[in-house]
Structure 1
Amino acid sequence: MARKKARESYIESELIYAYARTGRLADLEEFISGPNHADIQKIGDRCFEDKMFNAAKLLYNNVSNFARLAITLVHLKEFQGAVDSARKANSTRTWKEVCFACVDAGEFRLAQMCGLHIVVHADELEDLINYYQDRGHFDELISLLEAALGLERAHMGMFTELAILYSKYKPAKMREHLELFWSRVNIPKVLRAAEHAHLWSELVFLYDKYEEYDNAALTMMQHPTEAWREGHFKDIITKVANMELYYKAIQFYLDFKPLLLNDLLLVLAPRMDHTRAVAFFTKAGHLQLVKAYLRSVQSLNNKAVNEALNSLLIDEEDYQGLRTSIDAFDNFDTIALAQQLEKHELTEFRRIAAYLYKGNNRWKQSVELCKKDALYADAMEYASESRQPEVAEELLDWFLERNNFECFSACLYQCYDLLKPDVVIELAWRHNIMDFAMPFLIQVRL
């Protein structure tokens, strides 16, 4: 009646509210579809606050307020319609409200559709993840983020949070995810998650990509069963900044993989202190185990390496190898080695001792050793090389004392330029062996 006399806005608005209040939705819909001056938006809000959602739905739809319409449809449990309205509203806040409502209602397919519009906003991602996690919907949350990775607006936070979720709930999938997207995750954040979840293999992978080689090597050594891989470890250990890790790695291989130790040492050799390494293995009693390494670095002519390898060759009674070693690499204590060898039970090693004394110009000691072992040819050779007449004369006397006239004659030939003719004639005459001395005397130029 009032409307017929005055078409005021407030009158028509109150009429709409009355229709809503009395449940005459058909009359309400008919009224708002025609010309009117009512404040439909305001009445829609009143209806919403009074929980008259069906009326609010008609009113919001009439004024195309899709954001409020979406929320109204949520209250009416019309989730598909709510998603469609949210799409028209295209508001992040609306998407969140509809999404959370779908999660609470167990409509995860629709929730995912909404979530895809939320996760692309980095500042909204945490709220979404917490909402799912607080309600225990871990698999659905992971599915949502997996679907979102292919979006054009995918950002680092999505890849990072998915990696963290994998570390908590699906550790078997984390490695594959990291291998594909390691460059797109926040590595420090994922590192903490992997460490907290005790995913040592993944932790090493991330340390490697983050160029934290020292931590990667330490993690491998601390958790070898899960994290250690031979090729990967050798690649990482060469890049570490702290050289002390070299020696930790050596101890680790001694304890864990001793048969692969030489392979590791060959990789470490370019930067390693070989003197310290030899001292380490000597103290541990494992020099024999690293013989291949010692041979590979002997070309550096390091004193400690030479002495260690020579010691091994003596223990193995490899006199030929020892002779080759001391001829090729001279940086070792020759006198100490000679003194050690002159007491050796094998003749060939005592022979090497004589050879070493000769190299240090200790001619008398060298010749004396040869005499003891009846190494006549060596004795004559060393006497000749000494360039000392008294050494040669002593050797002649020694041969004569033993009636070894053939060696006497050979020594005259070997030491020809060191011996005086009168001395030779006197010795030959006294022992009645002029025939043995005659080849020497014939060549003497008086």
Structure 2
Amino acid sequence: MPNVANLPNVGDRLYDEALYEAAKIIFAFISNWAKLASTLVKLNQFQGAVDAARKANSAKTWKEVCFACVDAEEFRLAQICGLNIIVQAGHLRLVKPYMVAVQSNNVSAVNEALNEIYVEEEDYDRLRESIDLHDNFDQIGLAQKIEKHELLEMRRVAAYIYKKAGRWKQSIALSKKDNLYKDAMETASQSGDRELAEELLVYFIEQGKKECFASCLFVCYDLVRPDVALELAWMNNMIDFAFPYLLQNMYAQLLPLALPAPPMPGMGGPGMGGGFAAPPPPPPMGGMGMGMGMGMPPMPQFGMPPMGSY
């Protein structure tokens, strides 16, 4: 029958006869990832070999690709392979100092391995530092993993990851759930989303958090519309808590009106013919005994000079 063949045997024969390009096609078609990784190593396609080894998820395949990458001086790829070998052996913590030293390369496997260690150790400070400095990892996957962690600070890191990833609603929802209202306000402000900010105001009203309502008005000052703030405050008997925000808003609107208006073009400028120059000072008076033109010295300041003795 046509189109019928024992593809695994065909792939093995092609591999044994060094027909690696053809063998690669066969092994990829039948999803034999271990054989595909070996074939790609023979073709010096080391990145593809690492990807195939990841799908094979076999310690033997990882070792084969790792040694081949070292021989080819592909040390970054060899590092990825080595980490997976250690993970499978359960000795990840033994190489933690090494991973910390090389994390500046921002390799995904290193970042994820270290983040996993920090989660297990509940070292939320180190975890947050790692997230800030090295972003090459599955951010959403990590957030989903720790958003239900029993430790509050770990859940707070999950909300922080969602915020960094632009998932504002999920971040605010986590912060509200843990009563981290300041974090929720800051997230709403950074989102630049007016609807999110006003929804948070409504949430504080529903929870009876009057002080949080007042704080949110200032943290999200640029997002909240004055008419919405006034309406919410009036309908829920919170005018006193909205009054500082309303005063600030009124001041911001009236300040431009209090400033002097700039001169209009062509009015008051030199050489434009439209201004009124100040009149020159009057000439000195030339009356009896007072003028300088009568041979008299000028009168000193502050009255007459002292009279001489007789």
Instruction: Name the TM tier (shorter chain).
Output: 0.5 to 0.7
Q: Can you give the 5+ residue segments of structure 2 that lack an aligned partner in the other structure?
A: 1-64, 254-310
Indicate which of 179, 189, 201 corresponds to 1:384: 189
Query: Matched residues in 1 for 2:194 and 2:92: separation?
Result: 45
Say if 2:198 is the partner of 1:393. Answer: yes
Q: Partner letter of residue 213 of structure 2? A: F
Which residue number corresponds to residue 444 of structure 1?
249
Task: Write the mapping of 1:348-359 to structure 2, written as runs, cut at 5 A.
Answer: 348-359=153-164
Secondary structure of the equivalent of 2:122?
Answer: coil
Does residue 287 (structure 1) correspond to residue 92 (structure 2)? The answer is yes
Question: Structure 2 CA distance, aligned partners of 1:344 and 1:319?
Answer: 11
Write the distance in 1 (CA, Å) between the matches of 2:187 and 2:138. Answer: 21
The aligned residue for residue 116 of structure 2 is 311
- Give unmatched runs, 5+ long, in structure 1: 1-241, 248-267
Could you report, residue by residue, the CA deviation over 1:151-180 in whole angstroms, capped at 9, with x for unpaired residues? xxxxxxxxxxxxxxxxxxxxxxxxxxxxxx
Residue 179 (structure 2) pairs with residue 371 (structure 1): no
Give the conservation status (yes or no) of the 8 Å contact 1:269–1:297: no
Equivalents in 2 of 1:358, 1:243: separation in Å? 37
CA–CA separation in structure 2 for the residues paired with 1:308 and 1:337 = 11
Q: Does 2:226 correspond to 1:403?
A: no
Please name the residue that 1:427 is paired with: 232
Deviation at 1:320, TM superposition (A): 0.3
What is the rounded CA distance, in whole Å, between the counterparts of 1:404 and 1:309 in structure 2? 39
In structure 2, the residue matched to 1:273 is: 78
- 8 Å Cα contact 1:366/1:382 also seen in 2: yes
Structure 1 consecutive aligned stretches of length 4 or more whose deviation exceeds 3 Å: 268-272
Q: Which amino acid aligns with 1:328?
A: L
CA contact (8 A) 2:66 2:82 kept: no
Is the 2:67–2:78 contact (alpha carbons within 8 Å) kept by the matching residues of 1?
A: no
Q: How do 1:93-242 residues align onto structure 2 when only pairs under 5 Å count?
A: none
Match of 1:332 among 116, 134, 137: 137
Considering only aligned residues, what root-mean-square deviation do their CA atoms show, in Å? 2.1
- 1:246 to partner: Cα distance: 9.3
Q: 1:416 maps to what in 2?
A: 221
Greater RCO, 1 or 2 (C-alpha within 8 Å, sep 6+): 2
Change (3 A) 1:272 1:366: closer
Name the CA distance, whole Å, in 2 between partners of 1:368 and 1:389: 16
Residues 376 and 271 (structure 1 numbering): CA distance in 2 closer, same or farther, change over 3 Å?
Answer: closer
Counterpart code for 1:431: N
Contact 1:351–1:370 under 8 Å retained in 2: yes
State the alpha-carbon separation in 2 of the partners of residues 273 and 344 from structure 1. Answer: 33
The corresponding residue for 2:67 is 244
Instruction: Please report the TM-score for the alignment, with normalisation by the length of structure 1.
Output: 0.40
Q: Distance in 1 between matches of 2:132 and 2:238?
A: 40
How far apart are the structure 2 equivalents of 1:369 and 1:269? 42
Which structure would you say has the larger Rg?
1
1:444 corresponds to which letter in structure 2? N
CA distance in 2, matches of 1:292, 1:377: 35
Distance 1:245 1:331, change over 3 A: closer
Deviation at residue 394 of structure 1 after TM alignment:
1.0
Q: Distance in 1 between matches of 2:162 and 2:91?
A: 30
Q: 1:350 to 1:441 in 2, by over 3 A?
A: same
CA shift at 1:245, angstroms? Answer: 8.6
Paired residue for 1:301?
A: 106
Question: What one-letter code is carried by the residue in structure 2 that aligns with 1:410?
Answer: S
Aligned residue identity for 1:324: E
| 1:433 shift after superposition | 1.2
1:301 to 1:405, Cα distance in 2 relative to 1, 3 A:
same
User: CA shift at 1:369, angstroms?
Assistant: 0.4
**Residue 425 and residue 271 in structure 1: after superposition, are their counterparts in 2 closer, same or farther (change >3 A)?**
closer
Within 5 Å, give how 1:48-67 maps onto structure 2: none
289 and 421 in structure 1: CA distance in 2 versus 1, 3 angstrom threshold: same
Secondary structure of the residue aligned to 1:332 is coil
Q: Which amino acid aligns with 2:99?
A: L
> Structure 1 residues 436, 340: closer, same or farther in 2, change over 3 A?
same
Partner secondary structure for residue 112 of structure 2:
helix
Deviations 1:206-234 (A, max 9, x none): xxxxxxxxxxxxxxxxxxxxxxxxxxxxx
Q: Residue 306 of structure 1: CA displacement?
A: 0.2
Q: Structure 1 330/305 Cα, relative in aligned 2: closer, same or farther at 3 Å? A: same
* Count, aligned residues: 185
TM-fit CA distance, 1:244: 2.3
Where is the helix percentage greater, Structure 1 or Structure 2? Answer: 1
Deviation at 1:271, TM superposition (A): 6.9
* Counterpart AA for 2:192: R
**2:201 partner letter:** L
Deviation string for 1:47-75 (max 9, x for gaps)? xxxxxxxxxxxxxxxxxxxxxxxxxxxxx
Compute the TM-score of the two structures, normalised by the length of structure 2: 0.57
